[in-house]
Chains A and B, each alone.
Chain A
Amino acid sequence: MAQILGENLTLGYEGKAVVRRLNFTVEAGDCLCIVGENGSGKTTLLRTMLGLQPPLEGRIRFGDGLTRRDMGYLPQQTEGQRHFPALVKEIVESGFQGRCGLRPFYTRAEKAEARRMLQKVGAADLAGRCYRELSGGQQQRVLLARALCAARKALLLDEPVTGLDPKAAESLYALIRDLHAQGITILMITHDLGPALPLATRVLTMGGEGGAV
């Protein structure tokens, strides 16, 4: 079966539906681009997939070796985060929290893994830098490395290039293409279809009834 299957989903907050009767499938190795106007429920859909809120109706099923825990998440940054006093490696390592359980500290293997993930996103030299001194594009790479520490099979990206200059956006898209080429399933909310569309194997248009795939 498909990795992620949305069946007859109605999504929203406090009983108010934003999205009605949405159906979609994501196969292993897909790159699904989610487009739609503001308020059409794109982020709500990601949050529901991550289990941060329950669907009002319908359900999301996982299959083909994928569980909710195998999805790494790149949320939109908040203002407070941009000025957060922390080293890059402290942030990347926090991606392992989901596996820690009651264990209070990170293992040596996890720390090495965090360094490898930074390398993977082309930010190996940033490990000892202060997060708030980085550019927007560098910060996104760091958060992507953290998402990869949390999960390896699928990435959920919420408007990854928002606020980046065109050059940084282009190089972030190139990175996402690389990760996709390595077999990671990508689900991405995006506003500018132009550069994102060549990456996409499926496009989900939100807004209105049903959602076209």
Chain B
Amino acid sequence: MIATLQYYWTFPFVRYALAVGVLIALCASLFGVTLVLKGFSYLGDGLSHVAFGAMSVATVLRFTDSMLLVLPVTVLAAVLLLRGGRRAGIRGDAAIGMLSVGALALGYLVTNLFSAGPNLAGDVCSTLFGSTSILTLTRGEVWLCAGLAAATVGLFLLLYHKIFALTFDETFARASGMGAGRWQLLLAVLIAVIVVLAMYLVGSLLISALVLFPALAAMGVCRSFLGVTVCAAVFAVVCAAGGILLAVLAGTPVGATIVAVNMAGFALFRLAGAVRGGVL
């Protein structure tokens, strides 16, 4: 097995996939903690469907770089959902549901009507499940992903205490005059960037896994917010690296394998938590 891994390691696309995959999973897990605790668990899912819709439109319009359309559209959706939603008179979860299923349907419809490629089912499937796209990244895309991911992690570190305050008690944060509104806006933008990045890794249907599993696993065993954050980050990195290597070795779809490894890790953490808590 080691020999096989060493053999695969000589291919740059495997190294690229590993680097980008780990970075994206790291970002998603960091912001996943605040999304789960704020009750926005489904935001990642909703945004990813919006990204899918935008991606379909970009493909039909034959954009050379689909990111140019996908990123702004997703950012706009994130801002609308996190900030404007409460004024429109539609509850948060309902708004996410509507946007999510609407974008998914429109995206598929557009692709069907104006098919740009010969293999429609394959195109859609790889956007939804990210089947192989991560293994076909070019050097430029790798650097773009790595740069965006690094910037996101850096901003998370700088904003850590503000994110904590906003997550624990938004009302108090607003009253304290910390400028809660603009930090919330920045948070929405960062989350949208992560979702778009994650679409390349696991595809738009499986993004929620990167957001939810690390956060939930960490919340089961850690007592401090810092502990939860660090634990979720480590969990995500290990699962992403393990999943990608496993997928390369076994020839399974990358996205689905990463999610499966996340599920296994989550089950393990729950078991550990139960043992420590004296339930078992």
Contacts and interface: CB of A to CB of B under 8 A. Distances in A.
What's the dominant secondary structure at chain B's contact region? helix
A91 B178 CA distance: 15
Interface residues of B, number: 29
B168 A86 contact: yes
Nearest to B39: A80
A87 B223 contact: yes
Interface stretch (A97-105, A114-122, A162-170): A97-105
Interface stretch (B77-85, B159-167, B187-195): B159-167
A84 B224 CA distance: 9
Contacts of A104: 157-162
Contacts of B160: 104
A207 interface: no
Interface stretch (B60-68, B115-123, B169-177, B239-247): B169-177
Contacts of A85: 37, 219, 222-225, 227-228
A147 B169 CA distance: 12
B175 A97 contact: no
B223 A130 contact: yes
A69 B158 contact: no
A81 B178 CA distance: 20
Using C-beta atoms within 8 Å of the partner chain, give the interface range for chain A: 20 to 34
Residue of B160, B223, B228 with most chain A CB atoms under a 10 A cut-off: B223
B226 interface: yes
Nearest to A147: B172
A67 B208 CA distance: 44
B175 A52 contact: yes
A136 interface: no
B178 A98 contact: yes
A105 B168 CA distance: 17
B220 to A, nearest CB: 9
A123 interface: no
Contact of B37 (A84, A90, A105): A84
A11 interface: no
Contacts of A51: 175, 177
A95 interface: yes
A73 B225 contact: no
Nearest 7 A/B pairs, CB to CB: A98-B176, A130-B223, A86-B225, A97-B178, A50-B175, A94-B165, A87-B224
